[in-house]
Amino acid sequence: MSAPAATLTTITTQLVSAFEAAWRAIQQRHPDVPEVVVTFGSGTLGMKAGQTRLGHFAAARWQHGEKQLPELFISGEGLQRGALEVLGTLLHEAAHGLAHVREIKDTSRQGRYHNAKFKALGEEVGLTLAEDKTIGWSLTTVLMIGGAVRGVSMVRDWTSASSAAAISAEVGGGGARPGSVSRAPSS
Ligand SMILES: [Zn+2]
């Protein structure tokens, strides 16, 4: 007996595929954005009460043969914000990726404060950024123009597939409820 075809399209496979496709689309438009290892997990573990980490870009976290690869982390709790907001997180992390590749210091205060160089990199990948006095130019918005729409449709393939909130809660360790996600910065 061969394995049922359903095993080829698990929730995990769909999740990873959607994010890899979206990241690839970002790289096609912005070739300096580096290859990453995509990871998922809880955005509330280790955070202060009421705060959720939406994502992070961490250089040299993974070893692949001789090569060190950065990590792209996406929190499960953040998925329930919907495709456009999740794309905003991906582009935010892509901007950190550009900073890493170009050796630009884009944050200070343990990565919390996003400086004017980050703002420029974010705008390069199509984000609109607003300033906050604690986290700097980290408040991220995606304008629905041109290529952004294409990227959103890729993420939406997964996020609206079915019961995204329930799935994201599972991915995030069960801590998330719809409406419980605060607008904490991605790092
Ligand atoms: Zn950031």
Distance from residue 185's CA to the centre of ligand 1 (Å):
7
Distance from residue 92's CA to the centre of ligand 1 (Å):
6
Q: What pLDDT does residue 145 have?
A: 53
Other Cβ atoms less than 10 A from the Cβ of 105: the count is 9
Q: What pLDDT does residue 1 have?
A: 56
Q: How much is the pTM?
A: 0.76
Q: What pLDDT does residue 33 have?
A: 97
Q: What pLDDT does residue 7 have?
A: 58
Distance from residue 20's CA to the centre of ligand 1 (Å):
19
Q: What pLDDT does residue 180 have?
A: 31
Spans of all domains in the chain: 5-171
Residue from 64, 40, 69, 72 nearest 159 by CA: 40
Q: What pLDDT does residue 31 have?
A: 95
For residue 184, CA distances in Å to 22, 84, 86, 90, 187 come to 22, 16, 13, 15, 9
The parts of the chain modelled with pLDDT lower than 50 are 146-154, 156-185
Distance from residue 96's CA to the centre of ligand 1 (Å):
7
pLDDT digits (tens, 9 = 90+) for 119-145: 999 999 989 899 999 899 998 888 665
Other Cβ atoms less than 10 A from the Cβ of 161: the count is 13
